[in-house]
Chains A and B, each alone.
Chain A
Amino acid sequence: MIDPSWIAALGVILFGIGLLGTFYHKNAIVVLMCIELMLNAANLNFVAAASHYGDVDGWVFTAIAIAIAAAEVAIGLAILLSLYSTQGTISLDAARELSN
Chain B
Amino acid sequence: MVDFETVIFVIVSGAAIVGALGCVFSARVAHSLLWLMFTFFAVAAAFLMASAEMLAAIQILVYLGSVMLVVQFGVMLTRRRIQDVESLPTLNAISAVSGVGVFAFILVLLRGMMDHPMWDSGTSTAPTTLAFADAIFNDWTMATVILGSLLAMAMIGASYLVRDERLVNLLWDMGAEE
Q: Which residues of A contact B (CB under 8 A)?
A: 1-10, 12-21, 23-27, 29-30, 32-34, 36-37, 40, 43-44, 47-57, 59-60, 62-64, 66-75, 77-82, 84, 90
Contacts and interface: CB of A to CB of B under 8 A. Distances in A.
A5 B121 CA distance: 12
B110 interface: yes
B176 interface: no
B129 to A, nearest CB: 9
B106 A60 contact: no
B158 A77 contact: yes
Contact of B158 (A17, A18, A74): A74
Nearest to B160: A78
A10 B162 CA distance: 37
Interface residues of B, number: 80
A32 B161 CA distance: 17
Contact of A27 (B5, B29, B52, B66): B29
A51 B67 CA distance: 26
A42 to B, nearest CB: 11
B167 interface: no
Listed from nearest, the 8 A-B pairs whose CB atoms lie closest are A71-B154, A16-B106, A78-B161, A78-B158, A54-B123, A21-B24, A56-B127, A77-B74
A33 B36 contact: yes
Interface string B126-161: 110001101110011001000100110011011101
A63 B55 contact: yes
Given A72-B154, A79-B161, 7 more contacts: A6-B9, A24-B98, A25-B88, A51-B124, A71-B151, A78-B162, A81-B74
